[in-house]
């Protein structure tokens, strides 16, 4: 969906936003008219940062509410400086960053009548999932399948991320799925 040139533009925005954060303590301000209309469309994104193949930050949005280029800029900045699991990125780490950008499809609700039914519908390696219940929510991007390769493991860990025990089940549990274009 996004050309190599567009992917490079988005990667550059993420990198420049973090550099701006290091020097000016705010994300890169993008001028929408500087970008093709395709990159100005409202899209939900996640920016994942790694250093030496270890997670260093990951922040994103699940619903599109701002232009793609703007969402990448804000999420890159937030992944570097506002992920509560990590201290703010230091200048010495900047050159070590590996960037992984994910552009999300719209989420779609899944209909299921039991956990067993849900597990048969989950597509390992393809689906990102959003689990919600009792005002708690968690999501896993499709890239998490690399660490949790079975639907059972993926769902159990997603429940934990949302603040529930791995064996939690409720008739009010909601699951939405999405796919991503990643680069």
**DSSP, residue by residue, 6-19:** HHHHHHHHHHHHHH
Mean pLDDT of 53-69: 97
Question: What average pLDDT does the segment 102-130 reach?
Answer: 97
Q: Dihedral of CA 89/29/98/96: which sign?
A: negative
Q: What is the pTM of this model?
A: 0.92
Instruction: Please report the domains of the chain, with CATH numbers, ordered by start residue.
Output: 4-104 (3.30.700.20), 108-182 (3.30.1490.150)
Given this model, what pLDDT does residue 28 score?
Answer: 98
Task: Give the chain's mean pLDDT.
Answer: 97
For 22-49, write each residue's pLDDT tens digit: 999 999 999 999 999 999 999 999 999 9
> 63 and 86 in contact (C-beta within 8 Å)?
no
pLDDT digits (tens, 9 = 90+) for 67-112: 999 999 999 999 999 999 999 999 999 999 999 999 999 999 999 9
Interatomic CA distance for residues 149 and 139, integer angstroms = 16
Place of tokens 């079975």: 150
Pick from 171, 62, 160, 175: which is nearest to 119 by CA? 175
Residue 15's pLDDT band, with cuts at 50, 70 and 90, is very high
């Amino acid at each position: 969906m996004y050309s190599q040139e567009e992917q490079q533009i988005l990667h550059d925005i993420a990198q420049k936003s973090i550099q701006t954060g290091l020097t000016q303590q705010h994300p890169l301000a993008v001028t929408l008219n500087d970008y093709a209309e395709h990159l100005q469309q409202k899209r939900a994104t996640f920016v994942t940062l790694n250093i030496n193949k270890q997670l260093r930050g990951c922040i994103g949005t699940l619903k599109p509410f701002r232009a793609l280029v703007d969402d990448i800029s804000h999420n890159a900045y937030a992944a570097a400086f506002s992920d509560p699991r990590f201290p703010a990125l230091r200048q010495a780490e900047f050159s070590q960053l590996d960037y992984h950008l994910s552009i999300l499809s719209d989420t779609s609700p899944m209909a299921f009548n039991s956990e067993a039914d849900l597990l048969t519908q989950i597509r390992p390696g393809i689906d990102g999932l959003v689990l919600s219940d009792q005002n708690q929510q968690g999501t896993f991007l499709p890239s998490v399948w690399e660490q949790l390769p079975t639907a059972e493991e993926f769902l159990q860990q997603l429940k934990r991320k949302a603040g529930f025990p791995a064996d939690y089940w409720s008739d009010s549990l909601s699951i939405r799925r999405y796919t991503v274009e990643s680069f």
